Amino acid sequence: MRPLFHPAIEDLKPEAILYALSDPERVAIFAQIAGLGSSGTCAALSNLGGRVIPKSSLSQHMKVLREAGLIRGERQGVEMRNHSRCQEVDSRFPGLIAAILSAYGRPPAATNAG
């Protein structure tokens, strides 16, 4: 398997974060991960408000979030565990994540997790 790409915190770009969170489904997925306080598997995150996201779409959403530096993915056996990088991102771009989540009507308090 190929190693997963996780950008260093100093390499994060605001335009990549804005792009990653421009999609309402990705915002919902990211808000779930940020609100968990630990980690979430892809399977557990595939149900958004009663609608199941196809596995291929979910994989693509996770890749965009990961490459933007918003989440960190770790393989554990056959599962992929996803952790929020909110605290790291907020240290580099204070208030950015909270402002974006707030614009979507998501609770900014979720950014304190992980």
Question: What confidence tens digit (pLDDT) does each residue in 46-99 have?
Answer: 666 677 788 888 889 999 999 999 999 888 887 888 889 999 999 999 999 999
Using an 8 Å Cβ cutoff, are 17 and 93 in contact? yes
Position 87 in a domain:
yes
Domain harbouring 87, CATH code? 1.10.10.10
Position 2 in a domain:
no
pLDDT in tens, 1-57: 677 888 999 999 999 999 999 999 899 889 888 876 555 666 666 666 677 788 888
Position 17 in a domain:
yes
Give me the domain span that covers residue 71. 10-112
What pLDDT, on the 0 to 100 scale, is given for residue 87?
92
CA distance 15 to 17: 5
CA distance 85 to 105: 20
Q: What is the pTM of this model?
A: 0.81
Question: Domain tally for the chain?
Answer: 1
Position 3 in a domain:
no
